[in-house]
Amino acid sequence: MLEFSIMADALPSLLKGAGLTGRLAVLILLLGMTIAVPLAYARNAQSIWLHGPAKIYILVVRGVPSLLQVFIVYYGLGQLSFVRSSVLWPVLRDPFWCVIIALGLNSAAYTAEIVAGALRMVPKGLLEASQALGLSWFQTQRKVAIPLAVRAALPAYESEIILTIKATSLASTITLLDLTGAARLEVSNTFAPYEVFLTAGAIYFCITTSLSWLLRRFEERLSTDHRTGERSAKKLQPVLPALTNH
Amino acid sequence: MTADWVSGYGLQLLWGVVTTLSVTLMALIIGTVFGISLGAVKIYGAKPFRYSAEVYTALVRGVPDLIIIYLIYFGGTVALTKLTGRYVDINGFAAGVASLAFIFAAYASDIFRGAIKQVPRGQFDAAHALGLSRRAAFLRIILPQAWRLALPGFGNLAIILIKQTSLISVIGLEELLRASSVISGATRQPFLVYSVTAILYLIMTSFASWGFRHARIWSNRGFA
Amino acid sequence: MSAVTKLFGSFAALNGIDLSVARGEKVVVCGPSGSGKSTLIRCINHIEKHDGGSIVVDGCILDHKAANVDRVRREVGMVFQSFNLFPHMSVLANCMLAPMLVRGLKAVEAEEVAIGFLRRVRIADQATKYPSQLSGGQQQRVAIARAMCMRPKIMLLDEPTSALDPEMVKEVLDTMMELGARASVDGMTMICVAHEMGFAREVADRVIFMDEGAIVEEGAPEQFFCQPKTQRARNFLSRILH
């Protein structure tokens, strides 16, 4: 039978681990998105010198297990002497940053695929119209393409967020005490795998489920605004009286 | 060094590939059968069963695979030890297959549910009108058509499964990733060894996605 | 069949139907869309579950018990408006499936039976093709052959021509007329939802007119088409004849 006292005892260190899990996830997603946007533009580019490397990068990263990518960054890079002598070595020796780099580069490939798909869904006519109005390429992207693509990308990006939170558990394999790592430590102290892993699983479940619920709510609000045009109408209102004054 | 690579380490990596592929295949078969049943329960099952199936999928979706693998491996060890009264070390291969099939089935059930629902209702009517039993109608008429519709999603899951097998290296089964970790330690050339391993994984996943693409084309023959 | 009702939610698709069809009789059911004709014949082989009243088919009471439902379905064949051929099987396999699974025929016997009926609907040369490679009219003829392969005592046809392009209606009607002629020889009962007057006159022993889930009028085809008794039937006829 389950012993609830073990669960209660393990809870503080597990929650501390959950804090690290959250920090990892946020940094990974930030790094991933930063790389993903230019990568997505490269992937959609006409020139083979741009879309070729981008496609190969996405293919390779998505074709290889993420745990192996973590190992390559954490154990592998140290073998290369130019890495060891570089200024980045203190960062690359730290398992915390290794996980963020490995999973961030990984998330970048998946996110780039989502962003590129969403950008391709923006109707060509809208882009032509915006350029016909005299907007520059950058202005067209910023004011027309990206706002529309964000809505299209949102559902897929939500599941990328949840997958990233789950993927941070790989940090436990290179000595980090994230939620999974803390659970493993507790198990080796108590040898009560059921109690500890079930508690850890429950914490993960609460985080991912509540987050995906929140994200869905957020998405619904965006899409209803989009349909009824309520928000844009409100934005226009203060402008309209100003116009009549002239 | 070169001789070592060809004889010892090369063979060890190759054996890792074989283990990875066998775990994938076993988990794929068990997970598919389980996933189809679960998908059918989600559509046809009585309310309590349907509800349990939904909860099962939601749990697997919300918890990292590693936690599930640890639970089944360590939990299984503790359970068997208590059951038999002496220490039992659970087989890593069995625990690996069981946990990956468990995860696979949860995702596959949603894909099959969607595919089954897309088969026109008239197909069921026609099967019943011909006197086929519910079981025969499902197995002979509905499922073969659902397979075609499920194939794209199923292929993605299968490719994810190949990559997921790397996770069971944490419970000591010497599949490809574990083998390459062992060799990395022995040769002190982790970058080289892991890069070779990455290429091996890439070959497996690319081959699988090529295969599924052709399966999809083949399965669409005869359909407009 | 007595006092049969069928509800879709609060809507009564069938509202106290009393109907008996003799062995070997050929009945054509007509009426405006939404009048419950399809629901009526779908209840006879329990594709649709009736909510009230009782249905007796070939001496077997249809009481929602699986054993009785199976027994009835073995003896009742059905042809659908939308063909419902199995797209993943060849024409021949479509026809062989039920005889093998339900009747327990061997593959060779089932093939013999299937080829026999496919020949009768004049489509045996297409036996190895898949349904999607055939025209609508050809598909419906295969569906008729498929139902006949079970050698049913009762044949239900649910608007077999209404999903067809006009130029294909005739080939299917010809097949159905031939089916009717053979039915007279074999003593097979036929219940057919159809609007084609020519077909009804040629084949039917009795015409049933339904509206709003009830049988409004019935009689011999000659009498029904020339001198309908009720106003509703007259309205309906004037609409389909023009």
Q: Which of A65, A172, A193 sits opposite B74 (nearest CB)?
A: A193
Whether B222 contacts C87, CB under 8 Å = yes
Name the average pLDDT for chain B: 90
Of B127, B133, B222, which has the smallest distance from its Cβ to C70's Cβ? B133
How close C222 gets to chain B, by Cα (Å)? 32
* Closest residue to B62, CB basis, from A71, A169, A208: A208
Long-range contacts from A59-63, C-beta under 8 angstroms, 24+ separation = A59/B206, A60/B198, A60/B202, A61/A105, A61/A106, A61/A108, A61/A109, A61/A110, A62/A109, A62/A110, A62/A113, A62/B205, A63/B201, A63/B202, A63/B205, A63/B206
Three-state DSSP at C190 gives strand
Q: Is C13 helix (H, G, I), strand (E, B) or coil?
A: strand
Candidates B75, B184, B205; nearest CB to A75:
B184
Q: Does C110 touch chain B (CB under 8 A)?
A: no
Contact criterion met (CB below 8 Å) for B185 and A47: no
Q: Taking a contact as any Cβ pair under 8 Å apart, which residues of chain C between 142 and 171 contact chain B?
A: 146-147, 150, 156
Range of the domain at A204: 4-238
Q: What is the pLDDT of residue B193?
A: 93
Residue range C158-176: mean pLDDT, rounded: 85
For Cα atoms B17, B18, B23, give the angle at the middle one, nearest 5 degrees.
100
pLDDT of the residue at A244: 36
C176-212 pLDDT, tens digit each = 888 888 777 788 899 999 888 888 888 888 999 988 8
Q: If you average pLDDT over residues C220-224, what whole number do you get?
A: 86
The closest alpha carbon to C203, from C180, C226, C228, belongs to C180
Q: Give residue-wise pLDDT tens across range A53-77.
A: 999 999 999 999 999 999 999 999 8
pLDDT tier for residue A242 given thresholds of 50, 70 and 90: very low
The stretch C38-58 carries a mean pLDDT of 85
Q: What is the pLDDT of residue B3?
A: 53
**Closest to A96 measured CA to CA, from A31, A9, A184, A5:** A31
Q: Identify all chain A residues contacting B205, using CB atoms and an 8 Å cutoff.
A: 62-64
Residues of B with CB under 8 A from a CB of C: 120, 122-123, 125-133, 136, 140-141, 144-145, 148, 222-224
Q: Is residue A245 part of a domain?
A: no
pLDDT class of A7 with cuts at 50, 70, 90: confident
In total, how many domains does chain A have?
Answer: 1
Q: What is the CATH number of the domain that holds A101?
A: 1.10.3720.10
| DSSP tally for chain C: helices H, then strands E | 9, 11
Which residues from C are below 8 Å from B115, CB to CB?
none
- Residue A238 is predicted with a pLDDT of 39
Contact by Cβ (8 Å): B107, A166:
no
**Is residue A73 situated within a structural domain?**
yes
More confident position, A183 or C22: A183
The pLDDT value given to residue A79:
84
The pLDDT-based confidence of A156 (bands split at 50, 70, 90) is very high
Token output for C74: 């073995």
**C133 contacts on B by Cβ (under 8 Å):** 222
Contacts of A60 in chain B (CB under 8 A): 198, 202
**Is residue B65 classed as helix, strand or coil in its secondary structure?**
helix
* B64 φψ region: left (φ > 0), alpha (ψ -120 to 50), beta (else): beta
CB C58 within 8 A of CB C153: yes
Which pair of tokens denotes residue B85?
């009264």
Check residue A246 and give its pLDDT. Answer: 39
Q: In the predicted model, is pLDDT for residue C125 greater than 70?
A: yes
Tell me the Cα Rg of chain A.
Answer: 23
What DSSP assignment string belongs to C198-229?
Answer: HHHHHH-SEEEEEETTEEEEEE-HHHHHHS-S
Full strand arrangement of the beta sheet holding C76-79? C76-79, C154-158, C189-193, C26-30, C206-211, C214-219
B131 vs C73, C130, C133: nearest CB: C73
Q: What letter would DSSP give residue C195?
A: -
Average pLDDT (A233-243) is: 40
Give the best residue of B90, B194, B195, B203 to mutate against chain A (max A CB count within 10 A): B194
Displacement of CA A165 from its chain's centroid (Å): 8
- Contact (CB, 8 A) for B108 and B32: yes
Please, what's the b/e burial string for C201-219 (b: 16 or more CB within 10 A of its CB; e: otherwise)? Answer: bebbbbbbbbbebebbbbb
Does residue A161 carry a pLDDT above 70?
yes
Strand order from edge to edge, sheet including C11-17: C11-17, C2-8, C52-54
Question: What is the arithmetic mean of pLDDT over B28-33?
Answer: 97
**Number of other residues whose CB lies within 10 A of the CB of residue B38:** 24
State both tokens at B54: 């939904």
Q: Is A105 among the domain residues?
A: yes
* Token pair belonging to A211: 């987050």
Average pLDDT (B109-132) is 92
- Mean pLDDT of chain A, nearest integer: 87
Residue B161: is its pLDDT beyond 50? yes
| Mean pLDDT to the nearest integer, B218-224 | 70
Chain B residue closest in CA terms to A206: B62
Report, as an integer, the average pLDDT of B118-130.
Answer: 91
Model pLDDT, residue C2: 57
In DSSP terms, which residues pair with C5 in a beta bridge? C15, C52
Q: Give residue-wise pLDDT tens across range A186-220.
A: 998 888 888 899 999 999 999 999 999 999 998 88
Residue A244 lies in a domain: no
What pLDDT shows up at residue A138? 87
Which of A18-22, B86-90, C198-202 tops mean pLDDT?
A18-22
The percentage of residues in chain C with a pLDDT greater than 90, rounded to a whole number, is 12
CB contact under 8 A, A180 and B163: no
Contacts of A143 (CB under 8 A, 6+ apart): A130, A135
What gap in Å lies between CA C144 and CA C158, rounded to an integer? 11
Residue A35 lies in a domain: yes
The tokens for B60 are 């697997």
Of the given ranges (A11-15, A201-205, A232-236), which has the lowest mean pLDDT?
A232-236
Answer whether B125 sits within 8 Å of C133, measured CB to CB: no
The enclosing H or E element of B221 equals: none
Question: What CATH superfamily is the domain B3-218?
Answer: MetI-like (1.10.3720.10)
Phi then psi for A87, rounded to 5 degrees? -70, -20
**What's the pLDDT score for residue A41?**
95
pLDDT of the residue at A92: 84
Task: Convert chain A into a string of H (helix), E (strand) and C (coil).
Answer: CCCHHHHHHHHHHHHHHHHHHHHHHHHHHHHHHHHHHHHHHHHHCCCHHHHHHHHHHHHHHHHCCHHHHHHHHHHHHHHCHHHHCCCCHHHHCCHHHHHHHHHHHHHHHHHHHHHHHHHHHCCHHHHHHHHHCCCCHHHHHHHHHHHHHHHHHHHHHHHHHHHHHHHHHHHHHHCCCCHHHHHHHHHHHHCCHHHHHHHHHHHHHHHHHHHHHHHHHHHHHHHHHHHHCHHHHHHHCCHHHHHHHC
Q: Is residue A243 part of a domain?
A: no
Q: DSSP for C79-140, please give it.
A: E-TT----TTS-HHHHHHHHHHHTS---HHHHHHHHHHHHHHTT-GGGTTS-GGGS-HHHHH
The answer to the question of residue A61 being in a domain is: yes
- pLDDT value at position C162? 83
**Predicted pLDDT of residue B214:** 93
Q: Indicate yes or no: CB of C78 within 8 angstroms of CB of B223.
A: no
